[in-house]
């Protein structure tokens, strides 16, 4: 019994008899005989074998028409058709028709960590590939350290980093390179003269050595906090309360000089530091207020005495001048007569004698 059929363009027919591939038919009109069956395959699609592929490839005609890709465990193959990414092939054996589409394949070893630079970045962003990678982003203000299996690998700058997702652990630790602010608040301290007080202190710093900060030291910011805290205690403990209050504005620079070398060992540079607040206990405030009032009173008394001394000295100098100069004495005498006369409404004078002499007699008496 004969069967007549037509195979259209871009399609291929596979003729089987008793489950065995016996011939391959190209496009056109064909006949099949009794006991034969035919499969029509679209050559624009991957080849899906209805039987064992290894057995089917024994047919030389079919083997010549197919490109076979083998993907091992720990590998993937990126399939491109006419330069466009199509599929991710995992472990297995695949076959594709030749001649219709221009297939290219890129093999990647995903048992390693690093991704081959030949793989385009846009492919790594596709949904199909994203499941096979892990991605890290280092911000533009940061720098980072790459650790593979917990071991230091290299320093990395800002950017996006992708690695194959496998059993190997990958981590990127980052640190901010901008100037940062550290508060050391509520420090209960004793001065040299045993005055108890509470100080709020601040520090401005930035990371200058990423490897020291993230590899050579653990939690560099906490270590810097303790370093500044101890330096503050040391500096305050060496000063009496009055000295501390008078040096409050400059104490920060002195502390920076103390800690700068140890801060460099942490990979950081301290640029500024200072006391924000000095908080005294209530009884200490009262004592300080009393001392301040007493000081102001003493200063006022000194000023009053200074002015009295200056006034007395001026009078003494005037008296000496008048003693040496009769005319000056008379002028001074007339000045006082004038001042007194301003406060008198009526003056009675007799007709005899000089008027000035009479006035003099009146005021001298």
Which range has the worst mean pLDDT, 145-154, 157-166, 259-268, 331-340?
Answer: 331-340
Over residues 105-117, the mean pLDDT reads: 93
With a pLDDT cut of 90, the percent of the chain lying above it is 45
Q: Which of residues 121 and 350 earns the better pLDDT score?
A: 121
Please state, in angstroms and rounded to a whole number, the distance separating the CA atoms of residues 46 and 35: 27
- Nearest CA to 244 among 280, 215, 208? 280
Please state, in angstroms and rounded to a whole number, the distance separating the CA atoms of residues 246 and 301: 24
**Per-residue pLDDT for 41 more than 60?**
yes
CB 234 within 8 A of CB 188: no
**Per-residue pLDDT for 90 more than 80?**
yes
Could you tell me which CATH number the domain at 187-280 has?
A: 3.30.479.30
- Beta strands (DSSP E) in the chain are 3-7, 11-17, 20-25, 28-32, 36-42, 46-47, 66-71, 75-81, 84-89, 92-97, 103-109, 133-138, 142-148, 151-156, 159-164, 170-176, 180-190, 196-207, 268-279
Q: How confident is the model at residue 341 (pLDDT cuts 50, 70, 90)?
A: low
CB 203 within 8 A of CB 230: no
CB 360 within 8 A of CB 340: no
Please state, in angstroms and rounded to a whole number, the distance separating the CA atoms of residues 365 and 171: 109
Q: Which of residues 133 and 296 earns the better pLDDT score?
A: 133
Tell me the pLDDT tens digit for each residue of 268-286: 999 999 998 888 765 555 5
Please tell me the predicted confidence (pLDDT) of residue 364: 54
Order of strands, sheet of 180-190, starting from the edge strand that comes earlier in the sequence? 180-190, 196-207, 268-279
CB 193 within 8 A of CB 163: no
Tell me the pLDDT tens digit for each residue of 169-212: 999 999 999 999 999 988 888 888 888 888 999 999 999 999 99
**Per-residue pLDDT for 130 more than 60?**
yes
Residue whose token pair is 């197919």: 66
Chain-wide mean pLDDT for the chain? 85
Q: Is the pTM here over 0.75, yes or no? A: no
Order of strands, sheet of 11-17, starting from the edge strand that comes earlier in the sequence? 20-25, 11-17, 36-42
Collapsing DSSP states into helix, strand and coil, what is residue 113? coil
Please state, in angstroms and rounded to a whole number, the distance separating the CA atoms of residues 269 and 182: 13
Please tell me the predicted confidence (pLDDT) of residue 191: 84
> Which residues lie below 8 Å from residue 271, measured CB to CB, with a gap of 6+?
179, 204, 205, 206
CB < 8 Å & 24+ apart, contacts of 258-263: 258/231, 258/234, 259/227, 259/228, 259/231, 262/227, 263/205, 263/224, 263/227
Pairing of strands 196-207, 268-279: antiparallel
Q: Where are the domains positioned within the chain?
A: 1-102, 110-178, 187-280, 325-365
Tell me the pLDDT tens digit for each residue of 198-247: 899 999 999 999 999 999 999 999 999 999 999 999 999 898 888 888 88
CA end-to-end distance (rounded Å), the chain: 171
Over residues 146-173, the mean pLDDT reads: 94
Report phi then psi at 239, rounded to 5. -120, 140
Question: Which of 55-64, 83-92, 284-293, 356-365 is most confident?
Answer: 83-92
């Amino acid at each position: 019994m004969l069967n007549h059929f037509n195979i259209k363009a871009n399609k291929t027919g596979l003729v089987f008899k008793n489950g065995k591939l016996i011939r391959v038919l190209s496009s056109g009109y064909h006949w099949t005989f009794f006991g034969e069956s035919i499969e029509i395959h679209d050559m624009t699609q991957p080849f899906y074998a209805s039987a064992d592929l290894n057995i089917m490839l024994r047919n030389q005609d079919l083997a010549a028409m197919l490109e076979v890709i083998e993907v091992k465990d720990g590998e993937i193959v990126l399939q491109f058709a006419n330069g466009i990414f199509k599929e991710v092939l995992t472990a297995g054996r695949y076959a594709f028709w030749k001649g219709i589409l221009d297939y290219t394949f890129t093999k990647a070893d995903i048992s390693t960590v690093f991704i081959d630079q030949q793989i385009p970045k846009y492919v790594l962003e596709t949904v199909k590939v994203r499941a096979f990678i892990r991605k890290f982003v280092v911000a533009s203000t940061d720098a980072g350290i790459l650790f593979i299996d917990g071991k230091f690998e290299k320093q990395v700058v800002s950017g996006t980093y992708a690695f194959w997702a496998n059993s190997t652990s990958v981590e990127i630790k980052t640190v901010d390179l901008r100037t940062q602010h550290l508060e050391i608040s509520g420090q209960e301290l004793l001065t040299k003269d045993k005055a108890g007080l509470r100080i709020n202190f601040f520090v401005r710093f930035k990371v200058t050595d990423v490897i020291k900060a993230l590899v050579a030291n653990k939690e560099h910011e906490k270590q810097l906090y303790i370093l500044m805290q101890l330096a503050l205690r040391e500096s305050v403990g060496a000063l009496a309360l009055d000295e501390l209050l008078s040096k409050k504005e400059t104490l920060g620079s002195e502390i920076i000089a103390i800690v700068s070398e140890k801060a460099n060992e942490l990979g950081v540079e301290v640029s500024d530091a200072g006391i924000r607040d000095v908080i005294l206990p209530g009884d200490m405030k009262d004592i300080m207020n009393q001392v301040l009032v007493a000081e102001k009173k003493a200063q006022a008394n000194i000023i009053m005495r200074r002015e009295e001394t200056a006034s007395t000295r001026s009078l003494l100098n005037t008296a000496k001048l008048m003693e040496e100069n009769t005319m000056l004495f008379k002028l001074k005498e007339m000045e006082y007569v004038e001042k007194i006369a301003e406060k008198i409404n009526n003056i009675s004078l007799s007709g005899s004698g000089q008027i000035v002499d009479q006035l003099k007699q009146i005021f001298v008496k």
